Amino acid sequence: MKSIAARCLMCGKTFDVAEDHKDYSKLEKRKDQPTFVCDMCGYKIRYEADEEQKPKKPM
C-alpha cells in the first residue's frame, strides 16, 4: 500500500498516511508540503467542539 508522509497541523508530528486514508487524495495533490490533521488531533477538535455546545456547568 502506498503512503505519504504528511505533517499534522495541530501537533506538528509527521505521519505516514496510507492510501486508504480519507485525506490521502488531498495530500497527494500537495506533494511539496502535505499537511493534515491526524486522527488524535481530529478527535480532540471534535471533542472540544462538543464540549462547547454543552452549557457550562457552574463551578
- Count the site residues for Zn ion by CB under 5 A: 5
Out of 11, 16, 19, 43, point to the residue binding Zn ion (CB under 5 A).
11
When asked if residue 8 is in the footprint of Zn ion (CB under 5 A), the reply is yes
Following DSSP, what letter does each residue of the chain receive, concatenated?
--EEEEEETTT--EEEEETTSTTHHHHHT--SS-EE--HHHHHHHHHHHHHHHSPPPP-
Site for Zn ion in 14-53 (CB under 5 A): 38, 41
- Beta bridge partners of residue 4, listed in sequence order: 17
When asked if residue 5 is in the footprint of Zn ion (CB under 5 A), the reply is no
Residues that bind Zn ion (CB under 5 A): 8, 10-11, 38, 41
